[in-house]
Structure 1
Amino acid sequence: MRIPSIPGFDQQALEKYFKNTGWLFVGRIGSLLIKLIVSIKIANYLGRESNGVYIGGTTYIYFFSAIATLGLDQFIVKELHQFPKNRDQILGTSFWMKVFAGLSCIPLIWLAYQIYPAEGTPYYFVLIFSTIGIVQSLNVIDSYFQSEVQSKYIMQVQVAGNLVSAAIKIALIIAEAPIVSFVYAYAFDFLLISIGYFFTYQRKGRNIFNWTFNGKLAKKLLLLSWPLIISGIMVALYMKIDQLMIQNLSGTKESGAYATVASLSEAWNFVPSVIVTSLFPAILNARRDDLNRYKKRIQNLYDLMVYLSLPVALVITFASPLIYKFYNPEYSYAAPTLSVHIWSGVFVFLGAANSQYLIAEGYVKLTFLRTGFGAIVNILLNLILIPKMGMMGAAIATLIAYASSAFFVLFIPKVRQQGLMMFKSLFLISLFQKIIKR
């Protein structure tokens, strides 16, 4: 099958991209579909109030996920590419760094809960979720398979793990299990994936017990990743704080309904990171060889992000009442909120592309300044809008915050041109220019 061409990118490079990342993409889409179906069934079984209590506990782990992962994944892949003979040392060092970070998150999550507890969600739910950071340490094996261009093994583990997880949760629904059972099941999902990675790694002739720790390498990795850790915290804060604020300002029933909106709207947010990460090497080659071609490729990338996200936003906007037919009637009033929230995805797509540009140009500090600005905007607007408008206010706040974060570069003279280029893509100006030229 021939891969469709994308303006500004070589067809041969695209073919290579799809061969290298196709399996991973299939795995994520498969996992996404499984998770969406199961999340709908769980929401229907628990009802709005219990679903709000359940989801409220998960928000804390998102706030600290950047610390638990240490922003290491892309650097692990890079190290494995550069020094393949040091595989056991690189993986071992990264693994133990993530174990320590995961352990460190447990008291931090406790402190966050004491400062701003999720109303109605008991702390022992949050404590169970807190163990996920430690369990995820074996995800360094994911980075290993990426470095070996063997994404099909990642896909197999993810799909198999999600199928087992889905079977467990359906069984819990049939058995009319209490809510705490779903809390344990949620944490067990991550353990399943880690077990899958472990056995797959061992089956391929590798041995996890050969891993070693190197303090010098750990220091090097931390020096590289610390800006991404801070940026990741800011991203998690402005993506998830609305869920917690709704629970505390409007109650668990409203929070339970809004959780369905967020899960449906944010389900596709992995798409831009996969595409951008894969296409950006070709853009960097243009930066080295031809600055005009480099600028055109950046513009084409912004165009592509809009071409992908805009149709999704339009379809979901009009289809949201039909989507909520799959939920119990008590959730149906959330459909208009989904029609607003889904548009934030357009800015997520654009922001993902622009973040890669900022990193490529060495403007790493701008990435967390931008996400920090988005977090502040989101929190302030949530405080104003949620008491007046409930979850619709949270959706509006999220949309404005995402747009503010994406176009924050307009306030910075040295990267203002990128903001103007994103505007051209957003309003399809560059598309019309191409049509006129033809």
Structure 2
Amino acid sequence: MGNMKLKFSEKMSSFLKNSGWLIGERVFQMIFSLVIGAITARYLGPANYGVINYGMSYVVIVGVVCSLGLDSIVIREIISEPKKSGEIMGTVMVMRLVTSIVSIVILFIFIRAIEPNNVVLQWVCLLESISLIFKMYEIIDLWFQSKLKSKYSVIAKCIATFSVGVWKILLVVNNASVEWFALSVTIEAMICFVFIGILYLRNREYKFIFKLSIAKRLIKMSYHLLLASLMVVIYTRIDKIMLGIYMSEESVGIFSAAVAIADLWIFIPLAVINSARPIIIESKSIDKETYEKRITQVYALVIYMGIFASLAISIFAKLGVTILYGKDYIKAVPPLLIIVWGSIFSILGAAREVWIVCENHNKYLKYFAGMGALMNVLLNLLLIKPFGIIGVAIATLISQFVVAIIAPAFFKDVRVSLKHMFNALCLKGVFERK
């Protein structure tokens, strides 16, 4: 019993340190990126800032396909079979490389087809999409997460963030065109790839090896998560695409400013979720009571962080938009007041994914996200013309609520997750000692 308590204490210590590194990274990135992002947005103006975000929406959707929905599964596999880490990671990296190259080509052809006269958008999408190749570093990042050693990837990401910040300042000083700013995404991914790769080589336990049998097994396990992730990114990104199609690139820029401020707090719960994931996965096979308590604790953190952050952002919305982005973006305030509350439901969904993977209920994720995507598209079609950006914000909020709360109620196997969330909201069992 004493050994178990000691082991748990060591795990919690590693968890807290790992979370500290992740939160520290996000604080640095938030402050630095917020300042640089605001300077960039002011320089580009709503229209060009909209082009950057419009193109990035397509790239993010394609990027989900490249990720293959494997994040939680890779961590679980590495924890359960540590001696096969090299084979698992090597296989996934080859899979990511192939899908990235194919996706870049398909995306460029697609943009050329739907926007044949918008050469600037074509170049922006191409330059941003090249980042998909270098984002293979995310696989190594998952290995660091599984070992609760995120400090290594944090160091690399902070170096990349700082470097790209300096790059953007130089672009502003030299009156660079919007295409050069689009290249920033790829430069940041490339720097992360190089530094995280170097740090992994200094800490690695096994060499990368590709195995077709592992690739087949991982695809079989992950396609539910892939479809779910694709649906999620559609209902979270389709708003900008539809704004670009039905309104203007300027409206995309204004809405993007609102989203950037609304998401300021998200880095904290995401860091907690990423650090808690290995502990929750491991506790599943050890003790059911502890396992369910950990899940409820994560939900509670997400809910109350979200309420506090959303209230704070709502109170200072107008002041924040004016200071950061200037009067050209003042129309971002009304949608900001709406979408900031949807962020809570979005993060609850991310937290529940850990439980979904542990319980092997992956197949339901695509149904949740599919319902959200369908709801978002339909609401956007109904609301975007009469209400503009505000209509898009309402559609986003309702869709996120549907995915997090309404959709799981339709499926018996996952309905218990709503009970965990309700217990978390009431703080039931969150502070009890086992």
- TM-score normalised by L of structure 1: 0.86
What is the alpha-carbon distance in structure 1 between the residues aligned to residue 152 and residue 73 of structure 2?
20
The answer to whether the Cα contact below 8 Å between 2:63 and 2:132 also exists between their aligned partners in 1 is: yes
Give the direction of change, closer, same or farther, for the CA distance of 1:390–1:270 in structure 2 (3 Å limit).
Answer: same
Any idea what the Cα deviations from partners look like across 1:275-324, whole Å, max 9, x if unmatched?
A: 23443566567766766665555444433321111000000011111101
Cα drift, residue 218 of structure 1: 1.9
Q: 1:100 aligns with which of 98, 114, 132?
A: 98
Partner of 2:24: 26
What is the alpha-carbon distance in structure 2 between the residues aligned to residue 194 and residue 381 of structure 1?
39
Cα drift, residue 72 of structure 1: 2.8
Amino acid in the other structure paired with 1:241: I
Show the 5 A alignment for 1:123-272: 123-202=122-201, 204=202, 211-272=208-269
The answer to whether the Cα contact below 8 Å between 2:52 and 2:182 also exists between their aligned partners in 1 is: yes
Cα drift, residue 374 of structure 1: 0.5
- Any gaps of 5 or more consecutive residues in structure 2? 1-7
Give the direction of change, closer, same or farther, for the CA distance of 1:154–1:388 in structure 2 (3 Å limit).
Answer: same
Cα drift, residue 170 of structure 1: 0.5
RMSD over equivalenced CA pairs, Å? 2.9
Partner of 2:121: 122
Q: 1:65 aligns with which of 59, 63, 71?
A: 63
Any idea what the Cα deviations from partners look like across 1:9-59, whole Å, max 9, x if unmatched?
A: x87754331123322332233223222221111100000111111211111
Q: 2:317 aligns with which of 311, 315, 320?
A: 320
Aligned residue pairs total 421
Q: Secondary structure at the residue paired with 1:347?
A: helix
Q: Does 1:358 align with 2:356?
A: yes
Show the 5 A alignment for 1:320-339: 320-324=317-321, 325-339=323-337
Give the direction of change, closer, same or farther, for the CA distance of 1:232–1:301 in structure 2 (3 Å limit).
Answer: same
What is the alpha-carbon distance in structure 1 between the residues aligned to residue 116 and residue 327 of structure 2?
26
What is the alpha-carbon distance in structure 1 between the residues aligned to residue 282 and residue 89 of structure 2?
29
Any idea what the Cα deviations from partners look like across 1:138-170, whole Å, max 9, x if unmatched?
A: 333223333443322111101111101100000
- TM-score normalised by L of structure 2: 0.87
Amino acid in the other structure paired with 2:299: Y
Per mean C-alpha deviation after superposition, the further-off stretch among 351-360 and 404-413 is 351-360
Q: Secondary structure at the residue paired with 1:343?
A: helix
Q: 1:53 aligns with which of 51, 54, 66?
A: 51
Give the direction of change, closer, same or farther, for the CA distance of 1:187–1:16 in structure 2 (3 Å limit).
Answer: closer
The answer to whether the Cα contact below 8 Å between 2:146 and 2:278 also exists between their aligned partners in 1 is: no
* Aligned-pair identity (%): 27
The answer to whether the Cα contact below 8 Å between 1:57 and 1:125 also exists between their aligned partners in 2 is: yes
Partner of 1:275: 272
Per mean C-alpha deviation after superposition, the further-off stretch among 360-369 and 210-219 is 210-219
Give the direction of change, closer, same or farther, for the CA distance of 1:215–1:178 in structure 2 (3 Å limit).
Answer: same
